[in-house]
């Protein structure tokens, strides 16, 4: 069984709790991305799974077996880390073959495996080259090839694409996702790149200060963030999170004071909130649409700045000395100083209490 399970896993470096009581399970076929800002504990978590760091407390189960006391080499994992160290004097084929030496395979079997991996990762044309004759993307593919050439129980990747340029990253994201979905093993990938997580993961765990803030599918992490941290961390440009006060509740429709204006929002289902209480409202920049006339219950502001985003523009809108941002089509022909009336798209408004926790009808 290829599964990875962490039970109340904690790692302290003296007084610093780098990983704080983390519990999660990665099933066979699942690719879990640990995502979060620098220093949140992603790599330490991965290193504990790999056996490169000893947990302060908690349990690590691989294939339902507790591996707390097993050395790295006895955990039957394959790892590819950010700083892929290929042997400089060995060819691509020899680098690929290296992890197989402990496996007691015949030369024929080793050749067959190299051929299979080279085929999957398109390394056949460069199979006899040495690392110094390879481009970064090719080196990265060899490193991934070395990780998958054995038949380990699980895969661990730490920032596997961080050294590649934007174009190569995009290509490799797709390629690695395909390779992983064929391998059907529990996989953990550490990344601070949300696009990487959203495209490669079947499940994302967002971490902050050693804690897991939310574990969900990529879709739910984006569409149903549990709190203002996840809401602000996922999605570019960042979600607008604004102070607000509820003025009137009429079933699912609420009149809300946002930036001093009264805005009417239909949440589609009644929510457990109170009039006159303060909340945070979250609206992504792409969740606005322009309305012609201000019907008094939409946003009405002045355009403060327009940033070019190619076919779209990022518009900074000022209302009563506060600013929020909307991504709009370039075809609107907007100018700085214009008045703009906007309303949020249906079902795309998030409400959070003052502790930052989402308010939903579940
Ligand atoms: P990054 O994306 O920058 O790699 P991360 O989320 O992977 O960050 P970790 O490397 O796991 O974060 O580090 C978590 C915290 O633990 C950080 O505050 C870091 O400084 C600290 N830390 C990590 N390793 C050690 C160590 N060996 N000794 C002391 N503190 C450490």
Cβ of 126 less than 6 Å from ligand 1 = no
Pairing mode, strands 299-308 and 312-319:
antiparallel
Cβ of 13 less than 6 Å from ligand 1 = yes
Per-residue pLDDT at 154: 92
Per-residue pLDDT at 119: 86
Cβ of 44 less than 6 Å from ligand 1 = yes
Per-residue pLDDT at 140: 82
Distance of CA 113 to the CA centre of its chain: 32
Per-residue pLDDT at 58: 98
Count of alpha carbons within 13 angstroms of residue 155, beta-carbon side:
32
Q: How far is the CA of 339 from the centre of ligand 1 (A)?
A: 47
Cβ of 37 less than 6 Å from ligand 1 = no
Determine which of 23-27, 144-148, 290-294 has the lowest per-residue pLDDT on average: 290-294
| Mean pLDDT score of the chain | 91
* Mean pLDDT score, 322-341: 93
Residue nearest to atom 3 of ligand 1 (CA): 38
User: How far apart are alpha carbons 187 and 50 in whole angstroms?
Assistant: 12
Per-residue pLDDT at 296: 65
Question: Which string of b and e fits 239-271 if b means at least 16 CB within 10 Å?
Answer: bbbbebebeebeeeebebbbbebebbbebeeeb
Residue nearest to atom 18 of ligand 1 (CA): 39
Quick one: pLDDT band at residue 218, thresholds 50, 70, 90? very high
DSSP assignment of 42-78 equals HHHHHHHHHTSS--SEEEEEETTEE-TT--GGGS-EE
* Mean pLDDT score, 154-159: 90
Cβ of 210 less than 6 Å from ligand 1 = no
Q: Taking 80 as the threshold, does the pLDDT of residue 81 lie above it?
A: no
* Mean pLDDT score, 102-107: 85
Cβ of 40 less than 6 Å from ligand 1 = yes
Sketch out the chain's domains with CATH numbers.
Answer: 4-233 (3.40.50.300), 240-352 (2.40.50.140)
Q: Which residues 6+ apart lie within 8 Å of 308 measured at CB?
A: none
Distance between start and end Cα atoms, the chain = 33
Per-residue pLDDT at 294: 63
User: How far apart are alpha carbons 97 and 106 in whole angstroms?
Assistant: 12
Per-residue pLDDT at 362: 64
Pairing mode, strands 278-283 and 203-208:
unpaired
Alpha-helical segments (H) within the chain: 42-50, 92-97, 107-120, 136-148, 166-183, 194-200, 218-223, 228-233
CA-closest candidate to residue 275, choices 258, 259, 256, 261: 256
* Mean pLDDT score, 297-324: 94
Q: How far is the CA of 19 from the centre of ligand 1 (A)?
A: 9
User: How far apart are alpha carbons 89 and 132 in whole angstroms?
Assistant: 9
Q: Taking 90 as the threshold, does the pLDDT of residue 177 lie above it?
A: no
Mutate to test the pocket of ligand 1, among 20, 44, 189, 208 (most ligand atoms within 8 A of CB): 44
Q: Tokens 């006895």 map to which residue?
A: 74
Report the sign of the C-alpha dihedral through residues 170, 175, 180, 181, in that order. positive
User: How far apart are alpha carbons 24 and 42 in whole angstroms?
Assistant: 13
Q: What's the CA angle centered on 14, arms 10 and 15, to 5 degrees?
A: 80
189, 200 Cβ separation under 8 angstroms? yes
Helices (H) and strands (E) in the chain, counts: 8, 20
Residue nearest to atom 30 of ligand 1 (CA): 13
Region for 144 from its dihedrals, namely left if φ exceeds 0, alpha if ψ lies in -120 to 50, beta otherwise: alpha
Q: What's the CA angle centered on 285, arms 279 and 288, to 5 degrees?
A: 85
Rounding to the nearest 10 degrees, give the CA dihedral for residues 35, 192, 194, 326.
110
Quick one: pLDDT band at residue 180, thresholds 50, 70, 90? confident
Region for 92 from its dihedrals, namely left if φ exceeds 0, alpha if ψ lies in -120 to 50, beta otherwise: alpha
User: How far apart are alpha carbons 337 and 339 in whole angstroms?
Assistant: 7
Per-residue pLDDT at 258: 95
Quick one: pLDDT band at residue 254, thresholds 50, 70, 90? very high
**DSSP for residue 171:** H
User: How far apart are alpha carbons 20 and 207 in whole angstroms?
Assistant: 10
Phi and psi, residue 31, nearest 5°: -115, 110
């Amino acid at each position: 069984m290829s599964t990875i399970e962490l039970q109340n896993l904690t790692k302290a470096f003296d007084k610093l709790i780098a990983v704080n009581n983390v519990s999660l399970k990665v099933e066979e076929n699942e690719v879990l991305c640990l995502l979060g800002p620098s220093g949140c504990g992603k790599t330490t978590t991965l290193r504990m799974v790999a056996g490169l760091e000893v947990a302060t407390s908690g349990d690590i189960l691989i294939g339902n077996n507790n591996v707390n006391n097993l050395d790295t080499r006895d955990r039957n994992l394959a790892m590819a880390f950010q700083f892929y160290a290929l042997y400089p004097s060995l060819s691509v084929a020899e680098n690929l073959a290296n992890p197989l030496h402990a496996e007691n395979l015949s030369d024929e079997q080793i050749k067959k495996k190299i051929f299979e991996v080279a085929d999957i990762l398109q390394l056949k044309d460069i199979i006899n080259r040495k690392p110094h004759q390879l481009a970064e993307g090719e080196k990265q593919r060899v490193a991934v090839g070395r990780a998958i050439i054995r038949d380990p129980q699980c895969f661990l990747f730490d920032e596997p694409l961080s050294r590649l340029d934007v174009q190569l990253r995009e290509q490799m994201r797709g390629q690695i996702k395909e390779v992983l979905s064929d391998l059907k093993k529990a996989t953990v990938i550490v990344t601070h790149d949300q696009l990487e997580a959203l495209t490669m993961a079947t499940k994302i765990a967002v971490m902050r200060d050693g804690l897991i803030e939310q574990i969900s599918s990529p879709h739910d992490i984006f569409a149903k963030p549990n709190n203002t941290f996840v809401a602000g961390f996922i999605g570019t440009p960042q979600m607008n999170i604004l102070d607000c006060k509820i003025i009137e509740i009429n079933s699912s429709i609420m009149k809300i004071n946002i930036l001093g204006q009264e805005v009417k929002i239909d949440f589609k289902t009644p929510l457990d909130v109170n009039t006159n209480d303060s909340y945070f409202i979250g609206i992504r920049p792409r969740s606005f649409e322009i309305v012609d006339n201000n019907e008094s219950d939409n946003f009405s502001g002045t355009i403060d700045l327009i940033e070019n985003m190619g076919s779209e523009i990022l518009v900074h809108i000022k209302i009563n000395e506060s600013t929020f941002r909307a991504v709009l089509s370039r075809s609107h022909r907007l100018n700085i100083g214009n008045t703009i009336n906007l309303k949020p798209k249906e079902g795309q408004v998030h409400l959070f209490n003052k502790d930052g926790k989402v308010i939903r009808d579940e």
